[in-house]
Amino acid sequence: MKLVALALAALPLAVLAAPTYDHEWKDDKVDKHYEDDHKWDDKHADKWEDKHHDDKHDGEEKWYKDSFPFHFTSTIVGYASPDTIVNNSQVAVPGLEDGWGKFAFGLNSEENVICYNISVWLKGNYSSPAVTATHIHQAVAGRAGPPRIAFPNPRVLNGESIDEFSWRRSVGCVWGPFTTGVVVNGTDTGAGFTVADLEADPTGFFADTHTVQFPAGAIRGQLEWK
Ligand SMILES: *[C@@H]1O[C@H](CO)[C@@H](O)[C@H](O)[C@H]1NC(C)=O
Ligand SMILES: *[C@@H]1O[C@H](CO)[C@@H](O)[C@H](O)[C@H]1NC(C)=O
Ligand SMILES: *[C@@H]1O[C@H](CO)[C@@H](O)[C@H](O)[C@H]1NC(C)=O
Ligand SMILES: *[C@@H]1O[C@H](CO)[C@@H](O)[C@H](O)[C@H]1NC(C)=O
């Protein structure tokens, strides 16, 4: 397991080695968007920091210092494509041709927290019976399985139409107990699930996102250690 310190006010721009040329090419495109976004992020982080340094209230600055950086007990990633989709009858079905996604996660299994950095190249509106259409499901490659964690759907970055291909992104953290909104045998499929379960064997899980046209999943990526 890797220990990763992440300072929110000074996010490291790690360029990750991707398994194929295709992934690298698309990582570059993703990184370009993030460079633009970080100009905004840094500006606002500085303002926030100034505000907190001006603040003379006891404890305020201590809170600020104690809160960052936080740490991950491990980091995992899934490279999602349209050619790995399996529907709930365990039949391989096509996803969204030319769709692609990078689902990066930072886990803190001690505190049952999972942070996500999801970038997808998609078109079409989301659709899922779950609370959102972007999930980690429990199943090995080639199999379907229940969603365990639902994440906010990646949003279009620059106001493009949802009917056209564009980059979408979702960044943040969620923590247990988890609720997916999908009930099987009278129990929510997130109930009782922990980040430690995911950390125990990420390859037994995949990340995906579902659209109106591709209810079984537009793109899917099996998770692996980063
Ligand atoms: C999210 O991933 C992108 C693309 O890999 C990267 O450039 C960016 O720094 C990451 N953002 C965070 C908050 O880690
Ligand atoms: C899965 O796909 C097969 C083949 O298209 C289809 O017959 C079956 O009804 C699908 N199952 C679900 C749950 O959608
Ligand atoms: C997209 O789907 C969401 C529900 O998943 C709905 O609220 C929204 O109105 C839809 N947007 C469009 C443009 O169809
Ligand atoms: C639901 O119950 C059925 C029958 O008892 C069982 O085969 C199945 O594995 C259960 N599904 C889940 C997700 O627990």
The residue behind tokens 């979408």 is 168
Tell me the CATH number of domain 68-225, given options 1.20.120, 2.60.40, 1.10.10, 3.30.70.
2.60.40
Q: How far is the CA of 167 from the centre of ligand 3 (A)?
A: 17
CA–CA dist 107, 93 (Å, integer):
30
Q: What is the pLDDT of residue 65?
A: 45
Q: How far is the CA of 48 from the centre of ligand 1 (A)?
A: 20
Q: How far is the CA of 90 from the centre of ligand 4 (A)?
A: 15
CB atoms within 10 A of CB 15: 10
Q: What is the pLDDT of residue 11?
A: 34
The strand pairing partners of 166, in sequence order, are 122
Q: Does ligand 3 lie within 6 Å of residue 215's CB atom?
A: no
CB atoms within 10 A of CB 156: 15
Residues of the chain with pLDDT under 70: 1-69
Q: Please compute Rg for the chain using Cα positions.
A: 18
Q: What is the pLDDT of residue 102?
A: 98
pTM of the model: 0.77
Of the candidates 69, 92, 131, the residue with the CA atom closest to the CA atom of residue 220: 92
Q: How far is the CA of 157 from the centre of ligand 3 (A)?
A: 16
Per domain, the residue ranges of the chain are 68-225
Q: What is the pLDDT of residue 16?
A: 33
Q: What is the pLDDT of residue 61?
A: 47
What spatial distance separates the first Cα and last Cα of the chain, rounded to whole Å? 10
Q: Does ligand 2 lie within 6 Å of residue 87's CB atom?
A: yes
Q: For residue 138, give the ligand nearest its CA.
A: 4
| Nearest residue (CA) to ligand 2, atom 5 | 93
Pocket-testing residue among 85, 87, 143, ligand 2, by greatest number of atoms within 8 A of Cβ? 87
pLDDT digits (tens, 9 = 90+) for 169-211: 999 999 999 999 999 999 999 999 999 999 999 999 999 999 9
Of the candidates 203, 86, 73, the residue with the CA atom closest to the CA atom of residue 138: 203
User: What residues contact 21, with CB distance under 8 A and at least 6 apart?
Assistant: none
